[in-house]
Amino acid sequence: MRSGVLVLCISLVGGLVATAAEKGGKPTVEKKDFGKTAEGTPVDLYVLTNGKGMTVKITNYGGIVTELYAPDRNGKFADVVLGFDNLDGYLKGHPYFGCIVGRVANRIAKGRFTLEGKEYKLATNNGSSSLHGGVKGFDKFVWTAESFKGQQSAGVQFRYVSKDGEEGYPGTLTTTVTYTLTNDNSLQIDYEATTDKATPVNLSNHSYFNLAGHGAGTVLDHDMMIAADKYTPVDDTLIPTGKIEPVQGTPLDFTTSTRIGKRIDQLKGDPVGYDHNYVLRQGEGKGPWLAARVTEPKSGRIMEVLTTEPGIQFYSGNFLDGKVKGKGGAVYRQHAGLCLEAQHFPDAVHHKNFPSIILEPGKTYTQTTIYRFSAK
């Protein structure tokens, strides 16, 4: 579904108003200069706008979604993802705002695994664990990019070649990630990867969402449903124990729409909050299937997440502490945003009962996740 984008008219008083879309404007893609890395590599920003005026901005530095404007029940747009106004904010370090995480999303215990009889030692960057690809994961590289547009959608395709041994992983991995903004107000992310040597692969997007607006406070009053009856319990280092247990009777039960803050105080941990992998119920066919639905009552904004993945990590922004200042000077305090990261299970390389994340030569890794926005 390669389609186009439309230019969004910005009203400083009433939020973003899609006046051009209302007049029947066509989808557009615009490429802008987004600065340079410390090494002097140019970085671009791609502005996608659909036929209804929804706009998404994505940079080829880490495939980061920097802005996403979704309409409320009155048709007014607000930026609903956390992030920074410029490239410098991302270069200085951040909690994975909006980026592609890989080669392996989430955690690998003790930063090591054994594959085909050989032990591999990874870069550790989260205590003794390797998190989201290590010290320099996919979120910290400039990807090559090519934009496209059509009648019903517009997008950009990113490509990155991860060399054999990068961050300790075996094999040269060639990855493409395609972002497509469609006229039904969906942002679809398609992932593909191939390798010349067996290697773990688990890619995801790490956007932080606040459907009231990126600087509007906490997400604890959002209502959420997760299509999962089970989850993977973790130890005090957030590494799965290997068990798969029911959510029923626990604070993790979102099988029916529930306010996120309703039971959060029942959780253990420091800081307190959600950071759990859910085992998704999958429907018939190849998917993607509905994984989660989030509603913000005041604005009426709704975000549905559909995916082909077996799991989704719900993270409630527990480690945000007010030290990060984002777009427009917004201060991102604890629970200022939520992540719904479609993925295979964390630390899958150490648990044979989890779906495998090993990609073999001659095979193609694929994953599709859709973030679909509406309002009522």
Whether 206 sits among the annotated catalytic residues: the reply is yes
Alpha-carbon torsion angle 68, 69, 70, 71, nearest 10: 180
Instruction: pLDDT band for 191, please (50, 70, 90 cuts).
Output: very high
What residue type is 319 in one-letter code?
Answer: F
Mean pLDDT of the chain: 93
- With 90 as the cut, is the pLDDT of residue 19 above it? no
- With 80 as the cut, is the pLDDT of residue 101 above it? yes
Q: How far apart are CA 329 and CA 256, in angstroms?
A: 36
For residue 90, what is the enclosing H or E element? helix 87-91
pTM greater than the 0.75 cutoff: yes
What residue type is 299 in one-letter code?
Answer: S
Residue % of the chain over a pLDDT of 70: 93
Q: In the prediction, which pLDDT does 24 show?
A: 53
Protein fold of 213-365: Beta-galactosidase; Chain A, domain 5 (2.70.98)
User: Taking residues 333-362, what's their average pLDDT?
Assistant: 98
Q: In the prediction, which pLDDT does 375 show?
A: 98
Write down the catalytic residue from 94, 132, 206, 276. 206
Helices (H), 152-311: none
Contact (Cβ atoms closer than 8 angstroms) between residue 122 and residue 349: no
- With 70 as the cut, is the pLDDT of residue 17 above it? no
For residue 67, what is the enclosing H or E element? strand 64-71
User: Taking residues 255-264, what's their average pLDDT?
Assistant: 98
Q: What is the pLDDT of residues 269-318, one digit of tens each?
A: 889 999 999 999 998 888 899 999 999 999 999 999 999 999 999 999 99
CA angle 299, 303, 308 (to 5 degrees): 175
Whether 341 sits among the annotated catalytic residues: the reply is yes
Give every CB contact of residue 247 below 8 A, 6+ residues apart in sequence.
228, 229, 230, 231, 253, 254, 255, 278
All structural domains of the chain with their residue ranges? 213-365
Write down the catalytic residue from 132, 341, 344, 351. 341
Q: In the prediction, which pLDDT does 370 show?
A: 98
